[in-house]
Amino acid sequence: MAEKLKLQEVEVWDGNMAFAQAMRQAQIDVVAAYPITPSTPTVHGYAKFLSDGYIDGEFVLVESEHAAMSGCVGAAAAGGRVATATSSQGFALMIEVLYQASGMRLPIVLGLVNRALASPLNVNGDHSDMYLGRDAGWIMIDAFNAQEAYDLMLMGFKIGEDLSVRLPVIINQDGFITSHTAQNVKPLSDDTAYNFIGDYKEVNPMLDFAKPITYGAQTEEDWHFEFKARQHKALMDSSKVISDVFEEFKSLTNREYKRVESYLMDDAEVAIVALGSTVESAVQAAKDLRKNRGIKAGVVATRVIRPFPIKEVAEALKNVKAIATLDRSAPGGTMGMLFNEISAALYQSESRPVISNYIYGLGGRDMTQADIKEVYADIVKNAKAGKLVTPLQQFSGLRGPKLSFFN
């Protein structure tokens, strides 16, 4: 029987400790992992809890991230609660197996501590790895600080393991900015956290020898399409479960989560759409601009990245005049993901705010309050003109001459 840990009402944890503590409280059956910066302390912290007797479960230290996710797939198919954590190159190496996990409908939870992808080599935070996984069929949720990393890791198990969902879940947090920044975190007690998630419910466990089943069958054109359509439908339909779990968590903790988060949006005329810790920094900048400059600035964030909340995000942005979408990933020859997705969502609604795209913060480049206020200054111009008077895509925080496209 695992020992319990007595936590204080307020702990000072970084995002990795928040992940590790939530994973401990979930009492996972199998963690297979290959540590990589900046998610190493999540794996290290979990392994320490296990060896100190706070977890009844297996910890498998494997030889690569491909093996880590493969081990997770095997253990989840066998019928256990399973999780792991990784970053960057490690996540890239997992990609092949990510599609296997979602196709087999295995509710694995992956703590993804976001980091840049090489080359050039860089251990710092950006969203390249997050963006790389967005078609893999996983539910993707984003935490903006350590408290949220803890809360959402707990909720990730409950969402993915729901009998109507049965899909793997990625919980993202920013490398270093969140993962290595200690902040006040209010945890739940071990019992409260575990009871919130509940016991693992087995579905078609391979270890049930009385009922032999096949995972990952070969289908070819006969059944593949029906499988993938059903998988997509499950992912789309998971929105309701995600909202329900957020609601249940709120009634337990008074901490509110929504699939689309809106800050200062009631009367906002200009809005930034972003992900990660930048969401909170943008709220700080918007507050200052409202107070000191009278600019009606707001912030919208897609807490849930997959399934993408198309209707909710269009609703959140319907009354603004101009929007800046901030993407922390090199867009590889097109517009940033958020620009594309937000534009598509708005095109399905009546409203036509002026929308532009900023690439920022690659490889951990600091997104300062001054940088964010410059973005707001740009979109105030767009809002006043009622049309795009800035370049469609700009780089924010880049040294040297300004870089922009579609001027």
Partner 1 sequence: MLEIRWHSRAGQGAVTGAKGLGDVVANTGKEVQAFAFYGSAKRGAAMTAYNRIDDELIINHEKFMKPDYVLVIDPALAFSADITANEKENTKYIITTHHTKDELIELIPKLKGKSVHVVDCMKISMDTIGRAIPNTPMLGALMKVSGMFDIEYFKNAMLKVLSKFPQKIIDANMAAITRAYSEVK
Binding site for partner 1 (CB under 8 A): 10-12, 123, 145, 174, 176-178, 180-184, 277-278, 280-281, 283-284, 366-370
CB of 48 to partner 1, least distance (A): 12
CB of 125 to partner 1, least distance (A): 10
> Nearer Cβ to partner 1, position 297 or 367?
367
CB of 5 to partner 1, least distance (A): 13
> Nearer Cβ to partner 1, position 351 or 368?
368
Residues 6+ apart with CB under 8 A from 156: 109, 139, 141, 169, 171
CB of 187 to partner 1, least distance (A): 13
Q: How many CB atoms lie within 10 A of CB 107?
A: 27
Q: In the block, which residue shows the tokens 């996710």? A: 69
What does the angle CA 160 – CA 161 – CA 163 come to, to the nearest 5 degrees? 110
Q: In the block, which residue shows the tokens 């800050």? A: 263
- Distance, in Å, from the CA atom of 71 to the CA atom of 245, rounded to the nearest integer, reads 28
> Nearer Cβ to partner 1, position 39 or 178?
178
> Nearer Cβ to partner 1, position 176 or 246?
176
> Nearer Cβ to partner 1, position 17 or 43?
17
CB of 344 to partner 1, least distance (A): 28
Are the C-beta atoms of residues 145 and 118 closer than 8 Å to each other? no
CA nearest neighbour of 185 among 298, 21, 393, 391: 21
> Nearer Cβ to partner 1, position 90 or 276?
276
Exposed/middle/buried for 288, CB within 10 Å: 0-12, 13-18, 19+?
A: middle
- Distance, in Å, from the CA atom of 45 to the CA atom of 50, rounded to the nearest integer, reads 9
Q: Which residues of 373-404 are buried (b: 16+ CB within 10 A; e: fewer)?
A: bebbebbbebbeeeebebbebbbbbeeeeeeb
> Nearer Cβ to partner 1, position 67 or 117?
117
Query: Please, what is the end-to-end C-alpha distance for the chain in angstroms?
Result: 64
CB of 332 to partner 1, least distance (A): 26
CB of 150 to partner 1, least distance (A): 15
